[in-house]
Structure 1
Amino acid sequence: MRQLILDLLPEERPSFENFVVGSNGEALTGLASWLAPANREPLFFLCGEAGAGKSHLLQASEAAYTDARVDPDLSAMSPCAPNDSAYAVDNVEALSAGGQISLFNLINRLSASAGRLLATASVPPRQLVLREDLRTRLGSSLVYRLQPLSDAEKLAALGEQARARGLTLPADALAYLFLRAPRDMRSLSALLMAIDRYSLEHKRPVTLSLLREVLQAPLQL
């Protein structure tokens, strides 16, 4: 195939409503409780493998978001202002030495101002290779591990997304896509969106032949 739809974002902005929960109900409930205005816990930490949904939940939290893989020095993170009470830092294991100092200082400032920090990594805080003082601070967080969706959960979620779009798929369409596309929900959801758009633009029903075209031909989105 010449091009897979790897970099498309789902049409909807990440939210708690469009997060596919799977076996992560406890983590989602814990995060919702932590985000409640009455909560005073300063730190919340999500860990889990790539594709488990950590970035989705951080962006859904509406905190000031920074991805350490993109900005390892946290240079784009603005200083705390009086109305900046919640920050979200994704992939903290990617922080540079300077970024680790910046995050440690941010935690101190947020603690002094009753602000809050939401952070993620692939492993729990105690396993991170970071400055000891930062690792200790992060270790005091409320920590939840996100579990990746099973194949059955992904197929069920795709089927639900297709029904929500009013998209009629042949019986074996999801299995066909599942064997040929990336297995993370972000890519699968983006591919479903591309199929829907391609079908509408070409005024053709979704068939296995159309699916092959979507997977093989570059799309202009």
Structure 2
Amino acid sequence: MEQFVLELAAPPAATFASFVAGDNGPALYALRRIAGGALAHHAVYLWGPAGVGRTHLLHAVVTAAVAAQRTAHYIDAPLLESSMQLGAELIAIDNADRLSAAGEQAIFEWFNRSGPRHDSMLVAADRSPAALAARDDVRSRLASGIVFEVLPLSDEEKFAAMQAYASARGLPPLDEVFRYLLVHAGRDMGTLISLIETLDRYTLSLKRPPTLPLVHQLLQQLRIPNPVHGTDPV
């Protein structure tokens, strides 16, 4: 059979609506208020392991802030070199665990001048403020605001989110397929939702139902490694 070439579909737009909160309801509530300007002049620090949605939340805040007629920018920390880049009403800095010395200085200067400006800064990293390899005065300032640990979803929460997304697309119940994807295809919701989208296109192109062997074939074409060695669908 001729191999069908596919690319992993882009994940859904990073909005508050597309974020599956799980136990992160308080963080989501605070971020919504900050985006709308209800909590201006606040620094918020989000931390947690890869795949929990830190970047999603930063983009969602920026999108919501712009919709609320506020100036807002997303910046990847390694690209932060000057406080001149931090002139918007809301700044979202991602990957703060990779800040350069210049980036640390830029954040330090923002805190020193932000009082009369009523701006907001959101910072995300893979570790808590205290664990950052940064200057003491920068770490203390980042820890002085609101700090949220972004908690991962349980497998059951991910499974429910996958079911809801598939149902919204008009797909039939695919419980066995979704359980397989949870084990064999990564753990972050962005990847899992992208795989459902890609699987839908793939099965339509082949005019075949989404069976486990077909899912395994798709993962091979996408070069997504199987973390459970020797466990293939039959």
Bin of the TM-score, shorter chain as denominator length: 0.7 to 0.9
- Whether the 8 Å contact between 2:167 and 2:173 is mirrored in structure 1 is no
| Cα distance in 2 for residues equivalent to 1:6 and 1:106 | 41
Instruction: Identify which of 187, 206, 215 aligns with 2:210.
Output: 206
Instruction: Identify which of 183, 190, 193 aligns with 1:189.
Output: 193
Structure 1 residue 165 corresponds to structure 2 residue 174: no
Instruction: Structure 2: give runs of 5+ residues left out of the alignment.
Output: 1-5, 63-71, 224-234
**Of Structure 1 and Structure 2, which has the larger fraction of its residues in helix?**
2
TM-score normalised by L of structure 1: 0.84
The aligned residue for residue 117 of structure 1 is 121
**2:147 aligns to what SS in structure 1?**
strand
- Whether the 8 Å contact between 2:7 and 2:222 is mirrored in structure 1 is no
- Whether the 8 Å contact between 1:44 and 1:143 is mirrored in structure 2 is yes
**2:85 aligns to what SS in structure 1?**
coil
The aligned residue for residue 21 of structure 2 is 21
What is the aligned-residue identity percentage?
38
The aligned residue for residue 74 of structure 2 is 65
Pairing 1:35-74 to 2, within 5 Å after superposition? 35-62=35-62, 63-68=72-77, 72-74=78-80
Give the superposition deviation at 1:107. 3.2
- Whether the 8 Å contact between 2:58 and 2:74 is mirrored in structure 1 is yes
The aligned residue for residue 97 of structure 1 is 101
Which deviations, in whole Å up to 9, do the C-alpha atoms of 1:178-203 show, x marking residues without a partner? 22111111211111111011122223
| Cα distance in 2 for residues equivalent to 1:201 and 1:90 | 37
Range with bigger deviation, 94-103 or 53-62: 94-103
CA RMSD of aligned residues (A): 2.4
| Cα distance in 1 for residues equivalent to 2:203 and 2:118 | 50
- Whether the 8 Å contact between 1:89 and 1:118 is mirrored in structure 2 is yes
| Cα distance in 2 for residues equivalent to 1:49 and 1:6 | 26
Runs (4+) off by over 6 Å:
none
Which letter does structure 2 place at the counterpart of 1:45? Answer: Y
- Change in CA separation of 1:160 and 1:41 when aligned onto 2, cut-off 3 Å: same
Instruction: Structure 1: give runs of 5+ residues left out of the alignment.
Output: none
- Whether the 8 Å contact between 2:82 and 2:105 is mirrored in structure 1 is no
Give the superposition deviation at 1:6. 9.5
Which deviations, in whole Å up to 9, do the C-alpha atoms of 1:115-162 show, x marking residues without a partner? 110111222222322111211211111111111011111111111111
**1:79 aligns to what SS in structure 2?**
helix
Range with bigger deviation, 12-21 or 34-43: 34-43
- Whether the 8 Å contact between 1:47 and 1:145 is mirrored in structure 2 is yes
The aligned residue for residue 85 of structure 2 is 79
Paired residues, number: 209
Give the superposition deviation at 1:14. 0.3
**1:29 aligns to what SS in structure 2?**
helix
Which letter does structure 2 place at the counterpart of 1:60? Answer: A
